[in-house]
């Protein structure tokens, strides 16, 4: 069968009785069995649960019960989010196997209630930090556009599974770019919504004041439909905010007429190492939006370089606080890259953390001032397309420019969407990032959806070279 590319198309096909959820789920399970040994996206496949939830969704359709566009739609969750029918490992052996047994994270509860079909748990960077360690027992994530390339992190499995056509949507997390990075390098869409918009109850923390659980899918519309379900106040999570949740899909009509876009050229477009093709693709995307009626203005974000550093100081401090006792008792049980990155927090002082939070307060106000007369900012998501894994190291990542941590520091909504491909024998996805005002995800989606109606980058599908059986 032809598997629909998007949640929106699959939802329409289910309601037109062109396919059933069981048929869709079975086709994707078959695809997982074929491709996952090569792509390394799934840690656990919950086949029995998926088929049961798909059958339940079909039964509701047959009875005239429609729970919304996620009913019958197969998705998967980053294996840092608790699910009652599969273990939660955080891609490591440190976490107590009994942690999370028999219950669901709030976001999973909400997706089940909406009739979505859980396909399993996805690979990530161990505890959402560091890099994959080949010496550990977990699958090695591989970019479906070029198997030698990184799938980014930490929500690598989610980005890979969507790009590779193993699921229609998925959950990632984001502390400094861990949803937007994999969206960028795998050529899919992913949003880090406003801090406090989505509850994190049932998710292993990395940085308490920076973490987000996020939707990832092929299109902005698909991400909006997922955010409709998982957003909203939760008394079990003290960081959530009791702010009404709009229907994010209701205003997606393709129009960007009159929307005001700020383009921060300094740092975001002139950073050392910025790939020229990425820069050109993002600027071409901005021109396309301008041609569709958006108003474009060049702006400056003050101290953007320092903002990345402040985010890292907070992230390393908070992650070290969470892992301190386990690092002391079980250091060698962590992957080599994970322990290397986590112990950076050991070299930071209370004064460093205080200063980072002081800067954070300043930077949030400075960005708000810049955005007073704007609707969104647009800049690259990543410094370039996916590099070869052999060329990557934690120290190299620390030194390079980054365009995503700023928006964890401020808590603003930020979305990555595909905007082109590199040249070369194996073209790789390029991505642009759309940043909005607090709780203005609707506007971010409106810009992203408007752009995706002008282009088809988000609908490009890699041809995966299946590894030969050993």
Task: Tell me the pLDDT tens digit for each residue of 260-273.
Answer: 999 999 999 999 99
Q: How far apart are CA 95 and CA 92, in angstroms?
A: 7
Query: Alpha helix locations (H) across 231-275?
Result: 265-268
Neighbouring residues of 14: CB distance < 8 A, sequence distance ≥ 6: 20, 21, 24, 57, 61, 71, 72
**Where do the domains of the chain lie, and which CATH numbers do they carry?**
7-459 (3.90.1300.10)
The partner residues of 260 in beta bridges, in order of sequence, read 295
- Active-site entry in 78, 121, 192, 279: 78
Q: What is the pLDDT of residues 128-186, one digit of tens each?
A: 998 889 999 999 999 999 999 999 999 999 999 999 999 999 999 999 999 999 999 99
- Active-site entry in 152, 154, 382, 431: 154
Q: What is the pLDDT of residue 194?
A: 98
Q: What is the pLDDT of residue 5?
A: 97
3-state secondary structure (DSSP) of residue 292: coil
Q: Is 150 labeled as catalytic in the residue annotation?
A: no
Using pLDDT thresholds of 50, 70 and 90, give the confidence band for residue 401.
confident
Q: Is 395 labeled as catalytic in the residue annotation?
A: no
Six-digit token pair at 407? Answer: 């928006």
Six-digit token pair at 270? Answer: 């002139």
Q: What is the pLDDT of residue 23?
A: 98
pTM of the predicted model over 0.95 = yes
Q: What is the pLDDT of residues 428-442, one digit of tens each?
A: 999 999 999 999 999
Rg (CA), the chain: 21
3-state secondary structure (DSSP) of residue 456: coil
Q: How far apart are CA 211 and CA 195, in angstroms?
A: 8
Closest among 395, 398, 312 to 359, alpha carbons compared: 312
Q: How far apart are CA 216 and CA 94, in angstroms?
A: 27
Largest Cα separation within the chain, whole Å, is 61
pLDDT over threshold 90, residue 397 = no
Q: What is the pLDDT of residue 27?
A: 98
Mean pLDDT value across residues 63-89: 98
Six-digit token pair at 280? Answer: 């050109």
Q: What is the pLDDT of residues 335-375, one digit of tens each?
A: 999 999 999 999 999 999 999 999 999 999 999 999 999 99
- Active-site entry in 178, 317, 339, 382: 178
Q: How far apart are CA 93 and CA 335, in angstroms?
A: 9
Name the more confident of 396 and 239. Answer: 239
Q: How far apart are CA 156 and CA 95, in angstroms?
A: 20
Q: Is 154 labeled as catalytic in the residue annotation?
A: yes
């Amino acid at each position: 069968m032809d598997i629909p590319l998007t949640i929106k198309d699959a939802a329409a096909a289910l309601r037109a009785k062109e396919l059933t959820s069981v048929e869709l789920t079975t086709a994707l399970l078959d695809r997982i069995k074929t491709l996952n040994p090569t792509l390394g996206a799934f840690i656990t496949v919950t086949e029995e649960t998926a088929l049961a939830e798909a059958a339940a969704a079909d039964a509701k359709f047959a009875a005239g019960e429609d729970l919304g566009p996620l009913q019958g739609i197969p998705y998967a969750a980053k294996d840092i989010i608790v699910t009652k029918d599969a273990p939660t490992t955080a891609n490591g052996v440190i976490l107590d196997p009994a942690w999370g047994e028999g219950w669901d994270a709030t976001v999973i509860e909400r997706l089940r209630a909406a009739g979505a079909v859980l396909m399993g748990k996805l690979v990530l960077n161990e505890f959402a930090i560091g890099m994959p360690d080949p010496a550990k027992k977990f699958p090695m994530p591989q970019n479906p556009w070029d198997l030698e390339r990184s799938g980014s992190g930490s929500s690598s499995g989610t980005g890979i599974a969507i790009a590779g056509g193993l699921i229609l949507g998925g959950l990632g997390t984001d502390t400094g770019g861990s949803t937007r990075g994999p969206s960028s390098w795998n050529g899919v869409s992913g949003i880090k919504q406003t801090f406090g918009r989505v509850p994190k109850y049932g998710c292993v923390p990395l940085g308490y004041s920076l973490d987000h659980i996020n939707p990832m899918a092929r299109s902005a519309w698909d991400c909006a439909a997922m955010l409709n379900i998982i957003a909203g106040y939760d008394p079990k999570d003290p960081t959530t905010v009791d702010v009404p949740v709009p229907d994010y899909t209701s205003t997606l009509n393709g129009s960007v007429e009159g929307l005001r876009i700020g383009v921060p050229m300094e740092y975001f477009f002139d950073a050392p190492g910025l790939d020229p093709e990425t820069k050109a693709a993002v600027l071409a995307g901005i021109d396309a939006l301008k041609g569709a009626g958006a108003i474009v203005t060049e702006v400056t974000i003050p101290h953007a370089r320092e903002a990345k550093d402040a985010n890292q100081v907070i992230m390393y401090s908070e992650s070290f606080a969470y892992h301190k006792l386990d690092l002391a008792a079980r250091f060698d049980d962590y992957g080599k890259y994970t322990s290397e990155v986590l112990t950076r927090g050991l070299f930071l002082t209370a004064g460093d953390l205080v200063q980072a939070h002081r800067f954070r307060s300043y930077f949030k106000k400075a960005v708000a001032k810049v955005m007073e007369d704007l609707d969104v900012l647009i800049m690259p998501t990543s410094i370039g397309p996916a590099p070869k894994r052999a060329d990557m190291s934690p120290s190299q990542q620390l030194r390079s420019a980054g365009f995503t941590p700023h928006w964890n520091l401020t808590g603003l909504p930020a979305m990555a969407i595909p905007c082109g491909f590199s040249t070369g024998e194996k073209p790789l996805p390029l991505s642009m990032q759309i940043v909005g005002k607090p709780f203005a995800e609707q506007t971010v989606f409106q810009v992203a959806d408007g752009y995706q109606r002008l282009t088809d980058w988000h609908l490009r599908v890699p041809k995966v070279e299946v590894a030969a059986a050993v």
